[in-house]
Amino acid sequence: MASVASRKSVMTLYCSPICVYSHRARIVLHEKGIAADVEYINPNQPPEDLLELNPYGTTPTMVDRDLVLYESRIIMEYLDERFPHPPLHPMDPVSRARARMLVHRIDQDWYSLLDEIEKAIDNKTVKAKKVLKESLIAAIPVFAAKPYFLSDEFSLVDCTLAPLLWRLPNLGIDLPRQAEPIKAYAGRIFEREGFQASLSEQERELATSFELLSA
């Protein structure tokens, strides 16, 4: 019997409509204008097709002919290399390595706190929210340094960071007045056609994120 991967005639991205990791993979898809099927699933009840492809049943999971990938950073880099225009990673090895380190640090320093907040129950999120807010505020000079995150060009680093910023108000994290560089950066990202196209219906319900960050 043919495998699920071999039965797929076009690239398919299995996503949760609210998963922040799925969101950043979708941003790359739309920024590059890649023709792909985006299939939204309930991550708490993954379909058998997904479990056949990915034994962990996690999202995002991407199928491109016989290739199956199920880690967001790997998916994002694969899409950038598979569809090189427009490039979302620097071309030279040193700059590319630095960009990868930035993504790693965003994951380690900020996404780890986001995961803790989303998984916590009751008031156990208070400390993580405080640490995340303070860490972002401490990075204001970094947000102010360039139009994009430490870059003159939109990149995979921005694709990584945007979903987290979009969710801040919904998490109850309001940025103070002095965080204007973060708000201005977020506004530039949120207005991009690729970002708007990447939003699921559930994520669009968080539209007040843009209003609050732009206030």
Average pLDDT over every residue of 192-210: 85
Give the start-to-end residue ranges of the domains of the chain.
Answer: 4-82, 93-214
Check if 4-82 and 93-214 are the same fold: no
Answer for the pair 166, 205: CB distance below 8 angstroms, yes or no: no
Task: State in words which class domain 93-214 has.
Answer: mainly alpha
Residue 1 is predicted with a pLDDT of 33
Confidence grade of residue 213 (pLDDT, cut at 50, 70, 90): very low
What distance in Å separates the CA atoms of residue 195 and residue 144, rounded to the nearest whole number? Answer: 21
Per CATH, which fold does 4-82 belong to? Glutaredoxin (3.40.30)
Average pLDDT over every residue of 73-98: 93
Name the residues annotated as catalytic. 19
Residue 3 is predicted with a pLDDT of 56
For 54-64, what is each residue's pLDDT tens digit?
A: 988 899 999 99
68 to each of 25, 90, 122, how far by Cα in Å? 14, 25, 37
Answer for the pair 132, 113: CB distance below 8 angstroms, yes or no: yes
- Name which of 101, 113, 108, 210 is nearest 165 in CA terms: 210
**What pTM was computed for the model?**
0.89
